[in-house]
């Protein structure tokens, strides 16, 4: 009769530790590379610069008195705030959109358009 030995529990524990360490390293690397991708499709900018560019693009009069709300934290976006401006013309606080993005949401929280839209897609039909 053959007796098969089970692997000793000590070995199992060591193995699990290795996996956990690797996972931690992996998620840190992913976070950085994710934020780089976000930066490429929605570059960080000051709200004022972003808004001026949108006005030029959409031939708006400026609307400097308009109050802008970040739909993620529901707080006001000040003109001096740093924001991420999306292709769909929605803007969010840089930190808010980064949190959203890192939770594996790859679409605009407002209009659900993907961050990585195909070039030539209609972008300026909603404000």
Q: Give me the residues that bind Zn ion (CB under 5 A), please.
A: 70, 72-73, 88, 90, 93, 96, 108, 110-111
Residue 54 CB, shortest distance to Zn ion, in Å, is 12
Nearer to Zn ion, 21 or 69 (CB): 69
27 is written with which tokens? 């998620």
For residue 116, count other CB atoms closer than 10 A to its CB: 13
Q: How far apart are CA 76 and CA 44, in angstroms?
A: 17
Residue 63 CB, shortest distance to Zn ion, in Å, is 18
Query: Which one-letter DSSP state was computed for residue 94?
Result: H
Nearer to Zn ion, 42 or 108 (CB): 108
The answer to whether the beta carbons of residues 49 and 83 sit under 8 Å apart is no
For residue 63, count other CB atoms closer than 10 A to its CB: 11
Query: Which one-letter DSSP state was computed for residue 109?
Result: T
Rg (CA), the chain: 22
Nearer to Zn ion, 84 or 93 (CB): 93
Residue 17 CB, shortest distance to Zn ion, in Å, is 38
Residue 78 CB, shortest distance to Zn ion, in Å, is 11
For residue 18, count other CB atoms closer than 10 A to its CB: 10
Nearer to Zn ion, 28 or 121 (CB): 121
């Amino acid at each position: 009769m053959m007796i098969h030995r089970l692997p000793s529990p000590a070995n199992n524990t060591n193995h699990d530790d290795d996996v956990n360490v690797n996972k931690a390293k992996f998620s840190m690397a992913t976070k950085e590379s994710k934020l780089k991708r976000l930066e490429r499709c929605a570059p960080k900018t000051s709200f004022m610069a972003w808004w001026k560019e949108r006005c030029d693009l959409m031939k708006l009069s400026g609307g400097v008195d308009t109050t802008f709300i970040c739909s993620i934290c529901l707080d006001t976006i000040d003109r001096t705030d740093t924001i991420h401006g999306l292709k769909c013309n929605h803007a969010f606080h840089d930190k808010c959109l980064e949190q959203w993005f890192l939770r594996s949401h790859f679409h605009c929280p407002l209009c659900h358009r993907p961050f990585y839209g195909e070039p030539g897609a209609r972008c300026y039909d909603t404000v």
